[in-house]
Amino acid sequence: MLQAQAIFFCEDVDEDGYPENESSSFTIGSDGGWLKVLVKLDDEVDCDKVKYVIYKVSRSGNEKDDGKYNVYAYDKYDNFLASGAVRTNFKD
């Protein structure tokens, strides 16, 4: 099994594979928004798909409410790759 490496939440990824405007918190306007998830590994993943499992996290830490999200990345064989947390704030 692969060891967890690094996961980044960012607005974009440059042509060299580095995150641009990386953050653990993003503000999304009333017209919507987006962010990118970049997983950096020491070794190549021998597959053509990666699965992301995303859970909303409540204030008490339960994975179900709005605002904070835990993100888990797995290869197509369900081997764990990386995980991280990101918060989204909504602005009217």
Half-sphere exposure of 89 (CA within 13 A, CB side): 6
Residue 76 falls inside a structural domain: yes
Number of domains in the chain: 1
Residue 3: per-residue pLDDT? 46
Query: How far is residue 72's CA from residue 54's CA, in Å, rounded to a whole number?
Result: 6
Q: What is the pTM of this model?
A: 0.72
Could you tell me where the beta strands, DSSP code E, fall in 1-92? Answer: 6-10, 12-13, 19-20, 25-28, 36-40, 50-57, 68-75, 80-90
What confidence tens digit (pLDDT) does each residue in 5-32 have? 889 999 999 999 999 999 999 988 878 8
Is the pLDDT at 4 greater than 60, yes or no? Answer: no
Say if 1 falls within a structural domain: no
Chain segment 32-91, per-residue pLDDT in tens: 888 899 998 888 888 888 888 888 877 787 765 757 899 999 999 999 999 999 988 777
Any domain includes 47 = yes
